[in-house]
Homo-oligomer: A and B are copies of this chain.
Amino acid sequence: MSQFDGISSQQYRRVPILFVDTKAKLRQAITLINKAGQHDEKLPIVFASLVNREFRELLTTANTAIIIDPFAAFIGPLSEVLQLTPKSVVGLSHGVGEADKYDSRVDAVNFTLATDDGSCPDRCAQADLILVGVSRSGKTPTSLYLAIHYGLYVANYPLTEEDLMGEGLPKPLQPYRGRLFGLNISPERLHNVRERRKPGSRYALLETCRQEINRAKAIFVAERIPSLDTTLVSIEEISAAILQKTGITPRHV
């Protein structure tokens, strides 16, 4: 929707209809869609990712709605290239191996929680990646996102005042040079974030933020730690950029 001028998120309602895997649920969905159209006196736009061809056809004929099928762009061309007929069966992408994948993602989340906020030294040897940055630069949510989505063991290390005033790389990080990634943020943004947390504190002062960030940047440059400015970048994009810049292979996708 963001590709169309003049359509703001206030102008449409998003109604997710999930797990339509039986005909009864399909009928419910069709009723819901038709009612919404009548209520709004507008044609509903339905994004339907039904893999079952019969369901797709039933939906298309039963509704007074615009049906957009994102799978249509994939399944047909892939079928031609691979010279195979699609199975049109629901839920196949969550089959065999799902339990292992689940376990490994949960292990990654547990590792990330256990090593959050610098409780690193002993267990960092196991980390795929160690995020480094000043307090409130986005380390915790990013490390959890990477753990949940990619099964990566991500530790994080907050640069303390002592670290920032010291010489070179903080000692606990020295054995792990190759696995470090720095997160940066603009001083103004950091100031806002910290003000919300500890209003009026020295910690939140713009000047404190500016000094800490300058020192953190200097460390990243001097120690050749790849880094990223997270100001106005979403957690998804930060995570993707980290994978891209480090070349780390996800354990699971």
Which residues in A have some Cβ–Cβ distance to B below 8 Å?
A: 1-7, 14, 16, 18-19, 43, 45, 47, 51, 66, 68-70, 72-75, 77-79, 81-82, 84-89, 92-95, 98-99, 101-103, 105-106, 109-110, 113, 116, 138, 140-141, 144-145, 148, 189, 192-193, 196, 232-235, 237, 240-241, 243-244, 253
Chain B CB within 10 A, most for which of A82, A105, A145: A82
Shortest Cβ gap from A226 to chain B (Å): 15
Shortest Cβ gap from A31 to chain B (Å): 16
User: Which residue on chain B has the smallest CB distance to residue A238?
Assistant: B102
- Cβ–Cβ contact A232 & B98, under 8 A: yes
- Cβ–Cβ contact A82 & B241, under 8 A: no
Q: Could you list 20 examples of A-B contacts with CB < 8 Å?
A: A3-B75, A16-B240, A18-B240, A19-B237, A47-B74, A66-B77, A70-B70, A70-B74, A94-B233, A94-B234, A98-B233, A101-B234, A105-B141, A105-B235, A106-B138, A106-B193, A109-B141, A113-B116, A144-B144, A144-B148
- With a cutoff of 8 Å between Cβ atoms, the chain B residues found around residue A72 in the complex are 73
- With a cutoff of 8 Å between Cβ atoms, the chain B residues found around residue A87 in the complex are 3-5
Instruction: Using A68-B73, A240-B18 as known contacts, say yes or no to A78 and B5 having CB atoms under 8 A apart.
Output: no
Shortest Cβ gap from A231 to chain B (Å): 8
A81 to B44, CA, bound (A): 10
- Cβ–Cβ contact B103 & A196, under 8 A: yes
Instruction: Using A2-B93, A94-B237, A141-B105 as known contacts, say yes or no to A84 and B18 having CB atoms under 8 A apart.
Output: no
